Amino acid sequence: MSHKIFTDIREEELSIDKAINFVKDDKYGAIDSFLGIVRNNHNKREVTGITYDAHIPLAKKTLQLICEEAAGIWPETHYYVVHYKGHLNVGDISVLIAVGSTHRDESFEACRYVIEEIKTRLPIWKKEHYIDGISEWLPGHSLKDEVEQTTVCCGHCNS
């Protein structure tokens, strides 16, 4: 069993070519990719762009962990997962996921797993900018459930 994982938080344009090349493997017959794109509307409001904020060290660690979990579920898969930090306009790519695998089922399922986990676990926040000049941080998923998955001690030990 083998897998390759590349994850990052980037402040530059995300490259689909790099993603595909990374997960390509002569042994593999499938690559599935997912692109998150900034759309021009949300809740009936016209959106002009989104600013993404990130806790970079924890976000990198979480992305790696998510991919390792996926590789544990679907062995023989490669992962390239990058999330953007900074301002994006409508049509720009905010998140890029590519998964390579022997057959299509694993790459479809693993790719879906990665984006769903990103939605609820990755310490990233988005501020939408509207046509009327107003900007708002969007509500999200609390990370309180993540506490149980960490291995940090109580702090009493001083270790």
Which spans of this chain sit near other proteins (rule: CB under 8 A)?
36, 52-55, 57-59, 61, 83, 94-95, 115, 118-127, 137-144, 146-147, 150-156, 158
Select 22 or 84, whichever has its Cβ closest to other proteins: 84
| Smallest distance, other proteins to C-beta of residue 80, A | 16
Cα dihedral: 105, 109, 111, 114 (round 10): -160
For residue 32, the tally of other CB atoms under 10 A from its CB is: 20
| Smallest distance, other proteins to C-beta of residue 59, A | 8
Under 8 Å between Cβ of 41 and 116:
no
Select 62 or 101, whichever has its Cβ closest to other proteins: 62
- H or E, element range at 113: helix 104-121
Select 18 or 127, whichever has its Cβ closest to other proteins: 127
| Smallest distance, other proteins to C-beta of residue 153, A | 8
Nearest CA to 52 out of 116, 127, 121, 129 is that of 127
